């Protein structure tokens, strides 16, 4: 049979490959410690689970949901944004529940790009920005993010011939995988840049609530004029430990929200209603979970940073996000170093190259590993002498 040629352009999804390697190691009896995928190990809070159980007993929730979500769900999202960022959204026109932020991010390209159009994509960055672009027939222009520029794109360095075809600018702060941060001044410059060149800004804010050391992340939509050209994606996955329930949301410009709704209504049937009710409970109930989570992640962060530095890796202490981004010694590729850790220490890390060309020379460690496994992994690393890189 013949498959679509676009599949030939599709790289293997990074964490599928990592999961296969873990399974192969464990099949041989290895005790693998994984710092791979950013999937909170902390359970969903009990009061949220209780609301799901209650809602699951209500027969109307056994039927197809509506793509636009329950009115109560949209109002809960708007209320949360009002309390957290001081932003007011019309729940009927400027809020859209998602089956996880990843789904909305992937579908957004279908709303914005024609074949030959360009999306400006951060490098390193979440792979779905460029994959969604490819599925829509667009082209990705990768904006280099480096330590030297504070993990922010240099918008003025984008070539004029690229800007003529650019239709969307993807941003993600706090940034995955580097932990980089953006302030409102940068977001304001991004708004002005987008308006000048006639493009939309899509901001992935999935990590805005995972912050440390007194830092509070802003919303892109707090920037003046952002609502004219912007949409922001958020998720309940990281802040409420709800990755498995697949709940997220998009907020922003009403035209962009309507476009995404139109695509989604033709491709999915919305979030199951019982899960929407648990999301409402998460958004409107006690928010103590977020502070408790962050205290756990901060403790793990500090331990991981300390040990990585002790073995010779260069690490900035992140003030947000679920990851530690570590620079490797000269000569090591991220794939070779990740393979070395798996082979010699039965430790899984994510090669930075999986997030783009600019991720080469780095590895990412997730903080969503239980405390006892974190300590076991660090025990294996403590005192380790990194060998010389392989000769090529």
- Say whether pLDDT at 64 is over 70: yes
Give me the domains of the chain, ranges plus CATH numbers.
Answer: 5-44+289-381 (3.90.1150.10), 46-284 (3.40.640.10)
Do residues 15 and 37 touch, judged by C-beta distance below 8 A?
yes
Q: What is the mean pLDDT of the segment spanning 349-361? A: 95
Do residues 64 and 197 touch, judged by C-beta distance below 8 A?
no
Token pair 């190691």: residue = 25
State the pLDDT at residue 6: 87
65 phi and psi angles, rounded to 5 deg:
-80, 170
Alpha helices of the chain — where are they, by DSSP H?
Answer: 14-27, 46-56, 71-85, 101-112, 128-135, 160-163, 184-197, 226-229, 254-267, 273-284, 288-310, 334-345, 371-381
186-210 residue pLDDT tens: 999 999 999 999 999 999 999 999 9
Torsion over CA: 227, 229, 231, 232 (sign): negative
State the pLDDT at residue 14: 62
Distance CA 323, CA 304 (A): 10
Distance CA 366, CA 129 (A): 20
Distance CA 184, CA 174 (A): 12
More confident site: 14 or 73: 73
State the pLDDT at residue 15: 63
State the pLDDT at residue 26: 82
Indicate the pairing of strand 166-172 with strand 200-204.
parallel
Token pair 């922001």: residue = 232
- Say whether pLDDT at 25 is over 70: yes
How many Cα neighbours within 13 Å face the side chain of 138? Answer: 29
Do residues 102 and 127 touch, judged by C-beta distance below 8 A?
no
Record the pTM: 0.95
* CA nearest to 267, candidates 97, 107, 132: 107
Distance CA 319, CA 181 (A): 8
Q: Is 233 exposed, middle or buried (0-12, 13-18, 19+ CB in 10 A)?
A: buried
For residue 69, what is the DSSP state? -
Distance CA 111, CA 238 (A): 26
Looking at mean pLDDT, say which of 34-38, 76-80, 268-272 comes out highest.
76-80
What residues have CB less than 8 Å from 315, skipping those under 6 apart? 305, 308, 309, 324, 325, 326, 327
pLDDT band at 21 (very low <50, low <70, confident <90, very high): confident
Q: What is the mean pLDDT of the segment spanning 95-112? A: 97
Indicate the pairing of strand 139-144 with strand 166-172.
unpaired
| Cis before 124 (ω within 30) | yes
Q: And the tokens for 176?
A: 């995955």
Q: What is the mean pLDDT of the segment spanning 240-259? A: 98
Q: What is the mean pLDDT of the segment spanning 3-26? A: 77
The residues facing 231 across adjacent strands are 202, 252
Cα(first)–Cα(last) distance of the chain, in Å?
40
Token pair 């399974």: residue = 23
Q: Using alpha carbons, list the distances in angstroms from residue 219 to 81, 155, 182, 190, 231.
A: 9, 19, 10, 13, 11
Q: b/e map of 198-211 (b: 16 or more CB within 10 Å)?
A: ebbbbbbbbbbbbb
State the pLDDT at residue 117: 98
% the chain with pLDDT above 70? 98
Cα angle for residues 28, 23, 31 (degrees, 5° grid)? 55
Distance CA 337, CA 350 (A): 10
- Say whether pLDDT at 57 is over 90: yes
Distance CA 22, CA 349 (A): 11
Average pLDDT, the chain: 95
Do residues 243 and 275 touch, judged by C-beta distance below 8 A?
no
């Amino acid at each position: 049979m013949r498959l679509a040629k676009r599949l030939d352009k599709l790289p293997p999804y990074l964490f599928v490959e990592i999961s296969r390697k873990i399974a192969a190691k464990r099949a041989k009896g290895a005790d693998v410690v994984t710092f791979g995928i950013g999937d909170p190990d902390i359970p969903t809070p009990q009061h949220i689970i209780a609301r799901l159980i209650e809602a699951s007993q209500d027969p109307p929730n056994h039927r197809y949901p509506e793509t636009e979500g329950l009115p109560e769900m949209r109002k809960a999202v708007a209320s949360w944004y009002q309390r957290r960022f001081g932003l007011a959204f019309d729940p009927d026109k400027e809020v859209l529940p998602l089956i996880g932020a990843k789904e909305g991010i992937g579908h957004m390209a279908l709303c914005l790009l024609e074949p030959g159009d360009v999306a400006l994509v951060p490098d390193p960055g979440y792979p779905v920005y460029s994959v969604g672009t490819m599925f829509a027939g667009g082209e990705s222009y990768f904006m280099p993010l480096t330590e030297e520029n504070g993990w922010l794109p240099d918008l003025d360095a984008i070539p004029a011939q690229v800007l003529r075809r650019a239709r969307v600018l993807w941003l993600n702060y706090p940034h995955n995988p580097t932990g980089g941060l953006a302030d409102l001044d940068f977001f304001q410059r991004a708004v002005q840049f987008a308006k000048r060149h006639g493009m939309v800004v899509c901001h992935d804010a999935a990590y805005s609530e995972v912050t440390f050391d007194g830092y509070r992340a802003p919303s892109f939509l707090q920037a003046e004029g952002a609502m004219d050209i912007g949409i922001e994606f958020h998720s309940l996955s990281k802040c409420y430990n709800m990755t498995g329930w697949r709940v997220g949301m998009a907020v922003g410009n009403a035209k962009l929200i309507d476009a995404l709704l139109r695509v989604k209504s033709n491709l999915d049937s919305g979030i199951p209603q019982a899960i929407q009710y648990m999301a409402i409970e998460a958004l409107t109930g006690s928010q103590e979970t977020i502070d408790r989570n962050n205290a756990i992640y901060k403790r793990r962060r500090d331990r991981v940073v300390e040990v990585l530095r002790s073995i010779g890796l260069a690490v900035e202490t992140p003030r947000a996000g679920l990851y530690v981004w570590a620079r490797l010694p000269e000569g090591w590729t991220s794939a070779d170093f990740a393979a070395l850790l798996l082979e010699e220490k039965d430790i899984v890390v994510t090669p930075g190259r999986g997030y783009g060309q600019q991720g080469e020379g780095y590895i990412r460690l997730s903080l969503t590993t239980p405390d006892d496994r974190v300590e076991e992994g660090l025990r294996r690393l403590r005192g380790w002498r990194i060998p010389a890189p392989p000769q090529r």
